């Protein structure tokens, strides 16, 4: 769920989150047009293939899933005619496909396409690092051309939400290597838009799909201009070079007096946290991790770094979700941080940095270069840690440099999935995924947390699941593997010339799929 993970073969729900070069849209796109939109985003993925993780949480503009989510994140039918029929005590889910749906190449959608999609993702030879999210599936089969039946290994309460995963055409993908095939850069789907051009590091261009089963979109052309620098994105939006952009809160605030622009703020599950790897001699010490948790000023980060557009993160789940464990909220407590370190034998040296058995309480914190919000979080974290006697050395680097070092060095990372706590917590914390790429980056191992995750995943009783996730969040206070900092609101600014724009509660990944354009295909021009 890190930005780098989006850029690798594990690209997820957002179309445009990663690291890319700065560019402008071509002259033909400047200012957009009556039926076109030019959006400035920070980055792009390496793949548009759902087989490798793209679009797995829904809202892909090129593909559809069996189900989709509405503005309130409630599940609704998409490629399926209706919500699934659930039988056998939650072990069988049956979907009936919508009539008359075709892929953008004109070929009809059938149940075989759905079966092929899921079976290929579940194949260990496919490089999909989100495969564990479909662990509950025992078998998927076609029942005629219009029915798909999933048989589960165990009752999995949030399974229906997993079927927002995009469906691909078997007739195109079957003969390809899913890891290297043309579907990665030349997608064919049933969605409202069709990719027409992709200039890597510059822009992606889409046209409306006239045969879209939901009706031809009124926005006929969409250009996603890849502009890495926040300031440049804001400047081009102000000049009319862009119709909209993703912006950090401080830059979005500069458009408040612009009557031709409208600001949209989306609450999210997206949090920033510091990974505290077990392989590091300092962060492996539970006392150091607990002291860091007590030393951090979360509210200060929200106020100064996010300009109020966010909330303190006391754990991986935001405070306003019903799954949040009440009572774990906490303020900065430097006295407690110092007490924890004293009791554990970490004594202050002459320069104020603590030492134990000849080892300084010092470690490196890697931060992705070009991400000012993360850099500011990292510097604030280092400042807070120093007050407790812990030295945090902030170092900016590309994800290519960070990835091989994250076993031993801390990382200012971003995570968060919407829909159900299992969606984000299992990959973040379960010991079976420790060191599995960007899953469980901290290589966190805690039997209590594992048991809670397994209970939450395998139980269909809401009260049992709530108790398990409460226990998990309280265990993270006793044995933190990450220092959770803030939940970040996503801020967007767009020219005010379309009706129908709304936002959803968003995951960490955001760009084309999230934001006010999550329902781009339903926009109407202002009268």
Average pLDDT on 505-525 reads 85
Q: Are residues 457 and 408 in the same domain?
A: yes
For residues 71 and 102, state if they share a domain.
yes
Q: φ, ψ for residue 20 (rounded to 5)?
A: -150, 170
Whether 285 and 182 share a structural domain: no
pLDDT at 32: 53
Whole-number pLDDT of residue 484 = 98
Q: State the pLDDT confidence band at 104, using cuts at 50, 70 and 90.
A: very high
- Cβ atoms of 367 and 378 within 8 Å: the answer is yes
CB neighbour class for 355 (10 Å; exposed up to 12, middle 13-18, buried from 19): middle
| Structural domain includes residue 260 | no
- Say whether both 383 and 462 belong to one domain: yes
- Shared domain for 324 and 376, answered yes or no, is yes
Whether pLDDT at 176 is above 90: yes
Model confidence band, residue 527 (pLDDT cutoffs 50, 70, 90): confident
Task: State in Å, rounded, how far the first CA of the chain is from the last one.
Answer: 40
CATH code for position 297: 3.10.105.10
Across the range 468-474, mean pLDDT stands at 98
Clarify whether residues 361 and 504 are in a common domain: no
Predicted confidence at residue 45, as pLDDT, reads 82
Note the pLDDT of residue 58: 86
**Residue 203: inside a domain, yes or no?**
no
For 114, the 3-state DSSP assignment is: helix
Residue 61 has phi, psi (to 5 degrees) of -85, -15
pLDDT of 44 reads 85
Task: Assess whether 350 and 493 both reside in one domain.
Answer: no
pLDDT for the residue numbered 435: 86
Is residue 130 in a domain? yes
Asked if 435 and 460 sit in the same domain, the reply is: yes
For residue 8, the model assigns a pLDDT of: 33
Q: Write the pLDDT tens digit of every residue in 421-461.
A: 999 999 999 999 998 888 999 999 999 999 999 999 999 89
User: Tokens at residue 193, please?
Assistant: 């838009």
Same domain membership, residue 513 and residue 461: no
What DSSP assignment string belongs to 45-106? -S---GGGTTTTTS--SS--BSEEE-TT--EEESSBSSSPEEETTTTEEEEEBPTT-B-TTS
Q: What rounded mean pLDDT belongs to the chain?
A: 91
- Counted domains in the chain: 2
Q: Which domain holds residue 518?
A: 3-189+489-525
User: Could you give the percent of the chain with pLDDT greater than 70?
Assistant: 93
- The one-character DSSP state at 433 is G
Q: Average of pLDDT values for 5-30?
A: 36
> Does 82 reside within a domain?
yes
pTM over 0.85: yes
For position 1, what pLDDT does the model report? 34
Higher pLDDT, 17 or 431: 431
Residues 176 and 288 placed together within one structural domain of the fold: no
Do 516 and 402 share a structural domain? no
- Domain with residue 148: its CATH number is 3.90.76.10
Instruction: For residue 247, tell me if it sits in a domain.
Output: no
Residues 334 and 468 in one domain: yes
| Rounded Cα–Cα distance for residues 272 and 379 (Å) | 13
Instruction: Give Cα separations from 497 to 37, 260, 346, 523 (angstroms).
Output: 10, 8, 60, 10
Quick check: 22 pLDDT over 80? Answer: no
Is residue 217 domain-resident? Answer: no
Please report whether residue 238 resides in a domain: no
pLDDT tens readout for residues 286-306: 999 999 999 999 999 999 999
Q: Can you give the C-alpha Rg of the chain in angstroms?
A: 23
Task: State the pLDDT at residue 129.
Answer: 84
Q: Is residue 36 situated within a structural domain?
A: yes
pLDDT (tens digit per residue) in 251-272: 999 999 999 999 999 999 999 9
- What's the pLDDT tens digit per position in 329-363? 999 999 999 999 999 999 999 999 999 999 999 99
HSE on the CB side for 141, CA within 13 Å? 7
């Amino acid at each position: 769920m890190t930005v780098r993970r989006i850029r690798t073969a594990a690209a997820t729900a957002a179309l445009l989150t990663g690291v890319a070069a700065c560019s402008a849209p071509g002259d033909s796109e400047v200012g957009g047009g009556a039926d076109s939109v030019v959006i400035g985003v920070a980055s792009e993925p390496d793949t548009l293939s759902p087989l490798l993780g793209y679009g797995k949480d829904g809202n892909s503009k090129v593909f559809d899933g069996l189900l989709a989510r509405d503005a309130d994140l409630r599940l609704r039918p998409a490629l399926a005619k209706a919500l699934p029929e659930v039988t056998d005590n939650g072990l069988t889910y049956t979907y009936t496909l919508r009539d008359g749906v075709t892929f953008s190449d004109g070929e009809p959608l059938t149940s075989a396409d759905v079966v092929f999609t899921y079976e290929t993702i579940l194949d260990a030879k496919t490089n999909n690092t989100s495969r564990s999210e479909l662990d509950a599936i025992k078998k998927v089969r076609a029942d005629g051309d219009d029915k798909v039946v999933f048989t589960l290994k165990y009752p999995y309460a949030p399974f229906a939400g997993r079927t927002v995963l995009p469906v691909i055409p078997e007739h195109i993908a079957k003969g390809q290597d899913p890891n290297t095939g043309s579907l990665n850069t030349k997608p064919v789907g049933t969605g409202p838009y069709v990719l027409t051009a992709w200039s890597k590091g510059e822009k992606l261009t889409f046209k409306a799909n006239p045969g879209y089963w939901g009706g031809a979109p009124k926005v006929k052309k969409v250009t996603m201009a890849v502009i890495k620098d926040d300031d440049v994105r804001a400047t081009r939006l102000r000049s009319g070079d862009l119709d909209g952009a993703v912006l950090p809160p401080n830059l979005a605030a500069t458009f408040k007096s612009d009557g031709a622009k409208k600001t949209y703020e989306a609450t999210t599950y997206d949090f920033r946290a510091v990974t505290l790897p077990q392989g590091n001699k300092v962060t492996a010490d539970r006392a150091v991790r607990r002291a860091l948790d007590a030393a951090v000023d979360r509210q200060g980060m929200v106020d100064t770094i996010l300009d109020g557009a966010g909330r303190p993160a006391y754990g991986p789940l935001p405070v306003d979700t019903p799954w949040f464990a009440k009572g774990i909220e906490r303020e900065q407590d430097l006295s407690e941080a110092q007490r924890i370190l004293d009791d554990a034998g970490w004594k202050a040296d002459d320069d104020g940095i603590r030492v134990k058995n000849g080892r300084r309480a010092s470690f490196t914190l890697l931060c992705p270069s070009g991400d000012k919000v993360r850099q500011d979080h990292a510097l604030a974290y280092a400042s807070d840690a120093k007050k407790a006697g812990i030295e945090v050395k902030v170092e900016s680097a590309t994800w290519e440099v960070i990835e091989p070092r994250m076993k031993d060095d801390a990382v200012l990372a971003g995570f968060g999935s919407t829909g159900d706590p299992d969606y984000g917590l299992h990959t973040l914390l379960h010991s079976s995924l420790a060191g599995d790429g960007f899953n469980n980056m901290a290589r966190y191992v805690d039997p209590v947390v594992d048991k809670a995750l397994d209970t939450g995943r395998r139980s269909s009783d809401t009260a049992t699941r709530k108790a398990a996730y409460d226990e998990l969040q309280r265990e993270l206070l006793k044995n933190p593997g990450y220092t959770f900092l803030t939940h970040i609101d996503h801020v967007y600014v767009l020219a005010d010339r379309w009706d129908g724009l709304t936002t959803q509660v968003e995951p960490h990944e955001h760009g084309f799929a999230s934001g006010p354009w999550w329902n781009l295909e339903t926009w109407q021009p202002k009268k």
